[in-house]
Amino acid sequence: MRSHAPDAATPALRADGAICQTGPSHHLARSPRPRPPDSPFFPGRTPRDPGLALFLNAGDPGLEHTRDLLLLFDRLGVDCVELAVPFPDSVTDGPVIRASARRALAAGTGADEVMDLLEHVRPRLRHTKVALLADWRHTVRPLGIEPFLRRSRSAGADAVLLHGLPPRATAAYWDAAEQTGQRVVTTCYADSPGEVLARAARRSTAYVYLVATHGRSGTAPPPDPVRLRPAVRALRRTGAAPVAVGFGVRTRHDVRTVGALGAEAAIVGSALVGRIAQAHQQGGDLLRDVEQFVTGLRPRAGRLPEEQNTAEGAES
């Protein structure tokens, strides 16, 4: 997280949900607050009705937009939002998400601002869960693992997903997660060794993010059932956590393909972030455009992947 000068003004949310300017940030220190019991991610999802998780950089194009998008996703029945504390120069992201993070950082969005936003909006979400994504070097290490996890949980994050966690910090991370009660998203690749898949399945207390292919977000090919099916089966054998597949998921057909593999959910990132940026730059109705995009990701009930492919080919 960026350091704040003592007299720096940082964005915050008023009680009515509007953005205002306040005094300096207090670096995540908040009193604990009661929260409802944790419930599972992607409950009741089936191959014909897979869940949907969406990636969003907080603060792009603005904190007000992030708030409105979270409320929109909840109304649309989106199961999970991976809400990122923006950080620079991600080695796993392509140009679309990296540009989004730069815009959010330039606007002054840091961990404090994201936590404050989440604390205000999370009680209004009836369906959508929030997995808070943060970078180890940029955000978590400067704050400390346990303080970060405690603050994320008190702010209402249903789980956390850490980017760039070094092996030397893994044990401390799991100990702190257990002590704070914060749920954790684990990650693995479709071609990860069996022991890595098993560890991800056993350790996850939220869901497993199964990365469909190596590379950078926004540049990956569509999900390949031949590569992914063995990994999904291996995760099923060794753990009970739901599986969500990301990287290369852009269309309704991709979402249906992921569901047919037996995964509970599909994760859409760059395609959504690019749509948001386009709508904002063109000065259109951002929420309407995003609603159309998200609605278009939902598979048509009862169609198998090959049927969906045929139908979409006829429509194009």
Report d(CA 180, CA 114) in Å as an integer.
19
Cis peptide before 242 (omega within 30 of 0): no
- State the DSSP code for 136: I
Catalytic residues: 82, 93
The total of other beta-carbon atoms located within 10 Å of residue 281's CB is 9
Per the CB < 8 A criterion, the answer to whether 185 and 209 are in contact is yes
Structure tokens at 244: 């969500």
Look-up: residue for tokens 């002054």? 108
The total of other beta-carbon atoms located within 10 Å of residue 58's CB is 29
In order of 67, 87, 107, 118, 287, the CA distances from 9 in angstroms are 20, 20, 12, 19, 28
Taking CA 277 as the corner, what is the angle to CA 274 and CA 279, rounded to the nearest 5 degrees? Answer: 110
Report d(CA 7, CA 2) in Å as an integer.
14
Report d(CA 27, CA 29) in Å as an integer.
6
Per the CB < 8 A criterion, the answer to whether 247 and 216 are in contact is no
In order of 15, 17, 176, the CA distances from 66 in angstroms are 16, 12, 28
In 3D space, the residue among 131, 271, 288 whose CA is nearest the CA of residue 204 turns out to be 131
